[in-house]
């Protein structure tokens, strides 16, 4: 089941963890993935909750195939 929902022109997901360190490890995994993909999400960390927003800035901040692909890979990291 996907955490990502289309909100306005972005893909947005919230992931929750049992502890802060787990949330930070997840963010670090996303960062490594984003570097490999050359596509960087907006990430907000609030203690044990991580919010990820995906849109393609070059396309006018709308969700493109790059975003859907990265969302799938982020879901795989979480599972």
| pLDDT tens figures, 23-41 | 999 999 999 999 999 999 9
pTM of the model: 0.90
pLDDT of 62 reads 65
Q: Most distant CA pair in the chain: distance in Å?
A: 36
Per-residue model confidence as pLDDT tens digits over 43-58:
999 999 999 999 987 7
Domains of the chain: 5-78 (3.30.1360.20)
Overall average pLDDT of the 49-76 stretch:
87
Rounded Cα distance, 31 and 18, in Å: 20
- For residue 60, what pLDDT is reported? 63
């Amino acid at each position: 089941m996907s955490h990502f929902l289309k909100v306005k022109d972005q893909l947005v997901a919230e992931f929750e963890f049992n502890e802060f360190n787990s949330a930070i490890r997840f963010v670090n995994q996303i960062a490594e993935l984003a570097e490999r993909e050359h596509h960087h999400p907006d990430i907000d960390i609030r203690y044990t909750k991580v919010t990820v927003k995906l849109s393609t800035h070059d396309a006018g901040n709308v969700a493109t195939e790059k975003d859907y692909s990265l969302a799938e890979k982020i879901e795989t990291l979480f599972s």
